[in-house]
Amino acid sequence: MPRKAQNTKEEMLQAAFEIVQKEGYQAVNIRSVAHALNCSTQPISWQFGTMDNFRKELAIYTLQRIMEDYMRRRPSPKNRFFTLCEAYIDMAFDMPNTMRFLCATNALGLPESYLMKAFEPTSTGCLRKEIAEMYGMNEEQSIRFVEFVAIYIHGFSTLIFNDCLKIEREAAYAKAFDDIKCFRESMMKA
């Protein structure tokens, strides 16, 4: 079968995404993507310019794919925060190489302060209000709770996808949600 005259940007990113999934982010380079697409390196170099640009585009593409998967779960407004936590744990089990790519490489080239900006009140306003109403928290408590859960789930998942914590998926859900419940209860007593 003759090869296609041109590969689209989407096809290039999809090929790179599949390489990350199977072999890890260290295996992604212009040659490996060209090989996967059965094309020369020139169209990929032309499309992205530099490897840094390519990795950033791949990170954005990967995050979009992850969010599409999350949206397919159709979380109700009442439990979307915990559905997101569960999805993050699932990614640690199902997509460890992808998680390493996104977390360990800082593929988007974000400043170190970016993570903490995600927890600022202006970033989590709607979510914090839902949590506050669900658990009878004040604004300060809901800010603290969302920050704790985000950091906890990220750290917990990092231990899983880096094979530092050997745990079954159902046990991971149970532990995470039990720890979150304990934190919430101790915070409400304080």
Judged by average pLDDT, the poorest of 44-53, 131-140, 170-179 is 131-140
On the question of pLDDT at 144 being above 80, the answer is yes
Return the higher-pLDDT residue of 111 and 85.
85
Judged by average pLDDT, the poorest of 4-8, 41-45, 89-93, 144-148 is 4-8
Per residue in 14-53, pLDDT tens?
999 999 999 998 999 999 999 999 999 999 999 999 988 8
Angstrom distance (rounded) from CA 127 to CA 146: 8
Burial of 136 (0-12, 13-18, 19+ CB in 10 A): exposed
What is the three-class DSSP state of 173?
helix
Per residue in 94-129, pLDDT tens?
999 988 888 766 655 654 444 445 445 555 567 778
On the question of pLDDT at 71 being above 70, the answer is yes
Structure tokens that stand for 137 in this block: 């928290």
Place of tokens 């109403």: 133
pLDDT at 85: 86
Tell me the pLDDT band of 60, cut-offs 50, 70 and 90.
confident
Q: Where are the alpha helices (DSSP H) in 105-138?
A: 114-117, 125-135
pLDDT at 83: 82
Hey, how many other C-beta atoms are within 10 angstroms of the C-beta on 25? Answer: 21
